[in-house]
């Protein structure tokens, strides 16, 4: 039976959808911002015996509804290390919209606050926060419970540790949400006794070299320590010099750590930890969760696909964490609703969206937090005992992670992940099915050393059937071994626990354990040595059996089931009609053009206040490299966006191999594109990014032609590095490789040479010409006219939203009305030429040369006019450059007439 939908039914369904959607929005979303802000410098007494006065730069976000009669609960919102109160402004506004008074402040030692950096010491930064609670408690518009203010502490990294330490020290805190923070600074910066020098250096540099943190006026300051407290500065300098921490340094780091005081935390705690974090990995959050829960305090743990190395993650992850945070505070601070159910949620990367630009994640929940062990599965490893060398002073060293992207400018493309002779590999058989690892892998190794000790770096690799091997999230395990025998035969096995990961190993992939001697992120022994290493048996990868969360960022529990049903009914009617209409249009194919890559007819695109493209017609045939030219605002990018289905035209049509183009049309699978710049996941390698993109297309891996794309784009070994280490030019080359995956029949590139150096541009010229052979076609938009002239077979020139010329490059250049004149008197010649009818432009080209656009006027008449005026002419040369033709076609007008 066919479903018939009348126009009246369609309108009715649409109205129901709009009406109910409005009701849902009214019921489930917070009202628009309705708060006021006030900035104030608050003086607090802090330090041992409250002997020091510190000025804290604060901002209070207060709902306008808050009064003494209607007080509201409060949130102390702390920033990360090196930040200020402005760093958390967006979050403060969101919480204020939810009805909380939010107090933000700049920690002492940063920004405009006075004092020194003590790394969240209980006598300093934690006491500062207590004084801020006192300040809130004195306000009549802050809700109280038995005289104490209703207050939560929320913060990330530096601010997250502060929330933990504050809750341990001040029982007035009703709930906390610490994010991506530490449990023990001594283990975070010296895991297994190995100094994490790269991150430590960044921490120290952020507090000692920031110009905002200069010493107060009139003070000589300390060029070595900046605004760090002396004890912290001296501890860092000692550890950084020797690579080891003594008992005094360990004790000082523990004073700034939640680990010793977790048993004092009674405030319900939502712990959020990042899965892509080489600074504070999941083990830090796990230790916090177990320590707090051991005393019966409610604890919930959430892992997400970001962290100090991975950022905030995709929007779906941001929404999920916002929902969890709001739900937690709503119950434990406002006293609304039941206690949140479930103790643990996590997510993993599952691919890219259909456009290849957005990350897709899949989240799951578990009733009982499994920790890092999960349920393990072992994978046998093959590989003989091997000898590896420790280089002097740890140079050269392998690169496993880079905490900040600008270090990438110091690297060249020849750097590889592992250094030959300095690592040993132990590999599993190919996996027969995909396996989702979630937790901390373990492996048993044996080691021997002539010196009796060794520092080693144990790494877990995913080695896919095709593509480059990679370390999931760049996480590795440094270990310091002592009392080692000289012979491996006498060595006892040591169990190594690697950092926890959430990662899918695809079917056909191999699991590899690599043991290396030096890594750029860590300190290594300065003396050269040779170690013997072996792996006993297998590597164990834990997994977690979670329940998938279909849409964690939507608060369905607050929406009536009847309203949902009404929405679905209305949408169903609209989608059925839209699908039937789309199928009918998709069947409309021009049989005469099925072998023509691209035909653009009467294309027009209007926006509310201007016309971006008024009328565009051109064709791209097989074997052509067509250059799309035009000044800024001519409409080139708009035309390409319509071509790629990213926006709909107002009028006209685009046919790709005879198929009329619609957003998401199947024929787009025959098109590769680079439009509006590259967008990649920084914590994944180049190869991983391209593999994720291709998987999102749903096409077989063997159809991708990865190696050919790498070769065409000239990526070399760079595909094995994480994208956060790439220069702009390398990202551009990766984007070109992505566009060429699958060797599409039509390739569309917007400014492909952006960021490339001259040799790379010359190579790209050859690549595009070679690509168009064999029946493929290329459309390239560029502002480099000389490159277009040397690269393209044909050009299309746009100006003010229209095509003003199209055809073979030689024909367009041949029609150029421009000549080069060498004259005896440049000034006199310019005056004569500017007065001649028909001459459109005169430009000095250096020396005694002039470039003249005579607009079709006979050259003899121009020469005669100059001679009659007494100007000598040494040479008249036709100008046959594309640049001249272009300027002639656009009338010399290269100014933008609007954003197109």
Report the sign of the C-alpha dihedral through residues 585, 591, 597, 600, in that order. Answer: negative
Whether cis (ω within 30° of 0) applies to the bond prior to 396 is: yes
Task: Let me know the angle formed at the C-alpha of 287 by 281 and 292, rounded to the nearest 5 degrees.
Answer: 135
Query: Which residue would you say has higher pLDDT here, 799 or 761?
Result: 799
Q: What is the mean pLDDT of residues 832-840?
A: 82
Tokens encoding 786: 């000389």
- Model pLDDT, residue 352: 52
What is the rounded CA–CA span in Å between residue 537 and residue 507? 21
**Would you say residue 817 has pLDDT above 90?**
no
Report the sign of the C-alpha dihedral through residues 878, 884, 890, 891, in that order. Answer: negative
pLDDT category of residue 174 using cuts at 50, 70 and 90: very high
pLDDT category of residue 836 using cuts at 50, 70 and 90: confident
pLDDT tens per residue, range 486-500: 999 999 999 999 999
- Model pLDDT, residue 402: 65
Q: What is the mean pLDDT of residues 42-69?
A: 95
Radius of gyration of the chain (CA): 33
Four-point Cα dihedral 542, 548, 554, 560, nearest 10: -140
Question: DSSP code of 847?
Answer: T
pLDDT category of residue 551 using cuts at 50, 70 and 90: very low
Residue with tokens 């916002």: 322
Do the domains spanning 375-542 and 591-809 agree at the CATH topology level? no
Residue with tokens 């685009």: 654
What is the rounded CA–CA span in Å between residue 656 and residue 894? 30
Q: Which fold, 817-879?
A: Alpha-Beta Plaits (3.30.70)
Query: Which residue would you say has higher pLDDT here, 24 or 292?
Result: 292
**Would you say residue 773 has pLDDT above 80?**
no
Burial class (CB in 10 A: 0-12, 13-18, 19+), 328: buried
What is the rounded CA–CA span in Å between residue 443 and residue 457? 12
- Model pLDDT, residue 896: 43
Element at 134 (helix H, strand E)? helix 125-137
**Would you say residue 867 has pLDDT above 60?**
yes
pTM given for the model: 0.68
pLDDT tens per residue, range 83-109: 999 999 999 999 999 999 999 999 999
Question: DSSP code of 661?
Answer: P
- Model pLDDT, residue 878: 61
**Would you say residue 330 has pLDDT above 80?**
yes
pLDDT category of residue 889 using cuts at 50, 70 and 90: low
Contact 195, 523 (CB under 8 A): yes
Highest mean pLDDT of the ranges 17-21, 757-761, 885-889? 757-761
What is the rounded CA–CA span in Å between residue 550 and residue 563? 19
DSSP 8-62: HHHHHHHHHHHHHHHHHHHHHSPPSP-EEEEEEEEEEEESGGG-EEEEEEEEEEE
- Model pLDDT, residue 736: 86
Strands 651-656 and 777-781: unpaired
User: In CATH, what number does 591-809 get?
Assistant: 3.40.50.300
Burial class (CB in 10 A: 0-12, 13-18, 19+), 894: middle
- Model pLDDT, residue 882: 61
pLDDT category of residue 588 using cuts at 50, 70 and 90: low
Within 10 angstroms of residue 592's Cβ, the number of other Cβ atoms is 9
Task: Select 36-184+257-366's CATH number: 3.30.1330.80, 3.40.50.2000, 3.10.150.10, 3.40.50.1820.
Answer: 3.40.50.1820
**Would you say residue 325 has pLDDT above 70?**
yes
Which segment of 247-256, 451-460, 569-578 scores lowest on mean pLDDT?
569-578
Which segment of 96-100, 118-122, 881-885, 895-899 scores lowest on mean pLDDT?
895-899
> Per-domain residue ranges for the chain?
1-30+559-588, 36-184+257-366, 187-255, 375-542, 591-809, 817-879
Q: What is the mean pLDDT of residues 48-70?
A: 95
Question: DSSP code of 824?
Answer: S
pLDDT category of residue 529 using cuts at 50, 70 and 90: very high
Q: What is the mean pLDDT of residues 859-867?
A: 80
User: Please, which residues have CB within 8 angstroms of residue 160's CB and are 6 or more apart in sequence?
Assistant: 78, 178, 179, 180, 181, 182
- Model pLDDT, residue 176: 98
> Which ranges in 350-397 belong to alpha helices (H)?
none
Query: Which residue would you say has higher pLDDT here, 444 or 26?
Result: 444
Task: Let me know the angle formed at the C-alpha of 799 by 797 and 800, rounded to the nearest 5 degrees.
Answer: 155
Task: Select 375-542's CATH number: 3.40.50.300, 3.40.50.12780, 2.60.120.260, 2.40.50.180.
Answer: 2.60.120.260
| Average pLDDT taken over every residue of the chain | 82
- Model pLDDT, residue 281: 95
**Would you say residue 859 has pLDDT above 90?**
no
pLDDT tens per residue, range 274-321: 999 999 999 999 999 999 999 999 999 999 988 988 778 777 788 889
Burial class (CB in 10 A: 0-12, 13-18, 19+), 863: middle
- Model pLDDT, residue 8: 41
Which segment of 143-157, 381-395, 665-679, 770-784 scores lowest on mean pLDDT?
665-679
**Would you say residue 808 has pLDDT above 50?**
yes
**Would you say residue 510 has pLDDT above 60?**
yes
């Amino acid at each position: 039976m066919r479903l018939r939908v009348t126009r009246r039914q369609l309108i009715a369904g649409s109205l129901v959808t709009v009406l109910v959607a409005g009701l849902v929005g009214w019921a489930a979303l917070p009202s628009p911002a309705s708060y006021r802000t006030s900035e104030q410098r608050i003086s607090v007494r802090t330090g041992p015996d409250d002997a020091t006065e510190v000025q804290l730069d604060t901002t209070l976000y207060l709902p306008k509804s808050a009064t003494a009669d209607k007080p509201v609960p409060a949130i102390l919102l702390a920033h990360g290390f090196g930040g200020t109160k402005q760093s958390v402004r967006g979050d403060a506004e969101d919480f204020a919209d939810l009805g909380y008074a939010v107090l933000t402040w700049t920690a002492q030692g940063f920004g405009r606050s006075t004092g020194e950096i003590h790394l969240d010491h209980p006598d300093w930064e934690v006491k500062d926060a207590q004084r801020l609670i006192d300040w809130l408690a004195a306000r009549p518009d802050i809700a109280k419970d038995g005289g104490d203010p209703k207050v939560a502490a929320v913060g990330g990294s530096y601010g997250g540790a502060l929330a933990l330490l504050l809750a341990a020290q001040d029982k007035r805190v009703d709930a906390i949400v610490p994010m991506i923070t530490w449990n023990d600074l001594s283990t975070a910066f010296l895991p297994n006794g190995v100094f994490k020098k790269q991150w430590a250096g960044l921490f120290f540099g952020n507090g000692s070299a920031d110009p905002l943190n200069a010493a107060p006026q009139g003070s000589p300051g300390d060029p070595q320590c900046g605004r760090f407290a002396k004890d912290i500065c001296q501890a860092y300098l000692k550890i950084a010099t020797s690579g080891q921490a003594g008992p005094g340094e360990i004790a000082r780091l523990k004073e700034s750590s939640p680990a010793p005081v977790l048993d004092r935390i009674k405030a319900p705690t939502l712990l959020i930890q990042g899965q892509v974090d080489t600074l504070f990995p999941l083990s830090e959050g796990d230790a916090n969760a177990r320590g707090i829960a051991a005393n019966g305090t409610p604890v919930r743990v959430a892992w997400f696909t970001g962290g100090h190395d991975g950022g905030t993650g995709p929007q779906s992850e941001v929404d999920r964490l916002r929902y969890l945070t709001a739900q937690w505070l709503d119950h434990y601070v406002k006293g609304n609703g039941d206690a949140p159910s479930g103790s643990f949620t996590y997510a993993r990367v599952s691919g890219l969206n259909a456009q290849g630009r957005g990350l897709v994640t899949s989240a799951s929940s578990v009733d009982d937090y499994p920790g890092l062990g999960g349920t393990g599965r072992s994978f046998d490893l093959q590989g003989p005992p091997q000898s590896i060398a420790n280089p002097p002073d740890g140079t050269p060293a392998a690169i496993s992670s880079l905490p900040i992207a600008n270090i990438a400018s110091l690297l060249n493309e020849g750097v590889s992940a592992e250094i030959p002779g300095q690592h040993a590999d132990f590999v599993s058989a190919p996996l027969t099915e995909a396996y989702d690892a979630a937790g901390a892998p373990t492996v048993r190794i044996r080691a021997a050393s002539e010196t009796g000790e060794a520092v080693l770096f144990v790494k877990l690799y995913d080695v896919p059937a095709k593509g480059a091997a990679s370390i999931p999230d760049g996480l590795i395990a440094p270990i310091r071994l002592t009392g080692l025998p000289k012979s491996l035969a006498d060595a006892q096995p040591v169990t190594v626990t690697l950092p926890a990961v959430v990662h899918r190993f695809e079917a056909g992939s191999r699991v590899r354990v690599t043991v290396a001697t030096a890594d750029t992120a860590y300190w290594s022994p300065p003396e050269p040595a040779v170690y013997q290493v072996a792996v006993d048996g297998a590597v164990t990868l834990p997994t977690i059996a979670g329940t998938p969360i279909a849409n964690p960022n939507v608060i369905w529990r607050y929406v009536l089931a009847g309203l949902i049903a009404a929405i679905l009914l209305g949408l169903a009617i609209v989608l059925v009609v839209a699908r039937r209409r789309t199928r009918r249009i998709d069947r409309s194919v021009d049989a005469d053009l099925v072998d023509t890559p691209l035909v653009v007819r009467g294309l027009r695109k209007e926006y509310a206040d201007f016309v971006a493209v008024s009328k565009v017609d051109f064709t791209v045939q097989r074997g052509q490299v067509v250059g799309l030219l035009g000044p800024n605002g001519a409409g080139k990018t708009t035309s390409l966006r319509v071509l790629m289905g990213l926006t709909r035209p107002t009028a006209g049509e685009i046919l790709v191999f005879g198929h009329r183009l619609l957003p998401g049309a199947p024929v787009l699978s025959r098109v590769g594109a680079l439009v509006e710049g590259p967008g990649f996941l920084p914590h994944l390698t180049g190869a991983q990014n391209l593999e994720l993109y291709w998987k999102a297309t749903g096409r077989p891996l063997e159809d991708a032609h990865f190696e050919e794309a790498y070769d065409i784009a000239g990526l070399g070994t760079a595909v094995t590095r994480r994208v956060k280490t790439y220069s702009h030019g390398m990202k551009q080359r990766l984007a070109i490789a992505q566009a060429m995956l699958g060797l599409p029949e039509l390739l569309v590139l917007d400014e492909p040479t952006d960021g490339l150096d001259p040799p790379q541009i010359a190579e790209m010229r050859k690549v595009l010409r070679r690509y168009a052979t064999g029946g493929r076609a290329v459309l390239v938009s560029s502002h480099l006219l000389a490159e277009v002239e040397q690269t393209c077979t044909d050009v299309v020139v746009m100006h003010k939203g229209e095509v003003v010329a199209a055809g073979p490059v030689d024909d367009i250049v041949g029609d150029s009305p421009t000549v080069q004149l060498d004259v005896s008197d440049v000034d006199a010649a310019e005056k004569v030429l500017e007065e001649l009818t028909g001459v459109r432009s005169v430009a000095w080209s250096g020396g005694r040369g002039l470039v003249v656009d005579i607009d079709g006027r006979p050259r003899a008449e121009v020469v005669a006019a100059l001679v009659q005026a007494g100007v000598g002419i040494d040479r008249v040369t036709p100008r046959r450059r594309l640049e001249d033709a272009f300027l002639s076609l656009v009338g010399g007008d290269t100014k933008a007439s609007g954003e197109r």
